[in-house]
Chains A and B, each alone.
Chain A
Amino acid sequence: MANALEMKVSQPARLAEPVLYTADLSSFAEVAHAHLDRLYGFCLRLTTDPSDAEDLVQETLLRAMRAYRDLRDSSSAKGWLFAIATNAWRDQLRARGRQIHTVSIDALDADGDEFSLFQTIVIEDPFPYSDELHLDFLRLFRDEDIVAVFGSITPAFRLPLILTVVHGFSCKEAAGILQVPLGTLLSRLHRGRKQLERGLWDYAVTNGLVTTIDEDKP
């Protein structure tokens, strides 16, 4: 199977002539404005770093501008922009000598996938006097905590989670954006959810948001 994450993506060339002529440019700007905030949110969750997110939004828009004539249907613009952002991000990682490893991860043993946050909260009982144990746990998390937890999820699993849960794409649409088969998407999504659950718990413990029975833990 061709690995879509290893796909070659053309680098944007600096062109001497204008990328888009005035009418196209204002139409592109309209499309971009409609999705700008969500695109930034996507880039931030993807990179988990404000300065990287800034670069990624800019690079995405430059690439999108150059490919704008290929966009047939403006109702699919959001997915189109997110796909460009995903490819641009992969290229940025590759340029830094990092990659989104996928094959080895997909083949990993699934033992770690059985973690249950719901169950862990019951067992560890971090709020002994609460009758809203699980809700109290969720209330611990501020916005920046959630961004940080997302950052701890393996990128290949983080992407499907961001696309479906945060941005409301269906699994089929997300598979299209990431150019992977639906079955692969579903299995990565499951892994992503499990890592999210574990990530929230580990984050709460590491940052002292909860105290656990095992006090030797950091």
Chain B
Amino acid sequence: MIDCREAVRRMWAYLDHELATQPVTEFEAHLETCQRCCGELEFSRQLRAMVADDERSPAMPSHVRSRIETILAAGDVPSGEPG
């Protein structure tokens, strides 16, 4: 049986699907008996979703995009532009 401290330590790896079978089984067994860790797991899930949300990354500004398009079309930085 793992304790809360160990359960918390495994939480993000659990959400990342990076835990092996045995640690997952132990982790889930702990959750069945521990409301506190259930709450923290849900919080971690939401926190993770918040920072993982790519939509929240600011979009590429249009002037950057057009500069990149020029490079991709020319195969290099057009002369006269700073590299």
Given known pairs A20-B75, A61-B71, A62-B71, the reply for A36 and B60 (CB within 8 Å) is yes
The reply to whether B56 and A116 form a contact with Cβ atoms under 8 Å apart is: no
A138 at the binding interface (Cβ < 8 Å) = yes
Q: How far is the CB of A13 from chain B (nearest CB, A)?
A: 11
A40 at the binding interface (Cβ < 8 Å) = yes
The reply to whether A61 and B51 form a contact with Cβ atoms under 8 Å apart is: no
Q: Please choose the segment from A50-58, A72-80, A87-95, A207-215 that sits at the chain B interface, where 4 or more of its residues have CB less than 8 A away.
A: A50-58
A143 at the binding interface (Cβ < 8 Å) = yes
The range of chain B's interface size is 20 to 34
The reply to whether A61 and B72 form a contact with Cβ atoms under 8 Å apart is: yes
A residues near B18, Cβ cutoff 8 Å: 170-171
The reply to whether A58 and B67 form a contact with Cβ atoms under 8 Å apart is: yes
The reply to whether A166 and B75 form a contact with Cβ atoms under 8 Å apart is: no
Annotate A116-143 by CB proximity to B: 1 below 8 A, 0 otherwise.
Answer: 1110000000000000001100100101
The reply to whether B64 and A54 form a contact with Cβ atoms under 8 Å apart is: yes
Please, which residue of chain A has its CB at the minimum distance from the CB of B48?
A165
Annotate A160-174 by CB proximity to B: 1 below 8 A, 0 otherwise.
Answer: 010011111011000
Q: How far is the CB of B20 from chain A (nearest CB, A)?
A: 12
Q: Give chain B's interface residues, CB within 8 Å of chain A.
A: 8-9, 12-13, 16, 18, 39-40, 43-44, 46-48, 50-52, 54, 56-61, 64-65, 67-68, 71-73, 75-77, 83
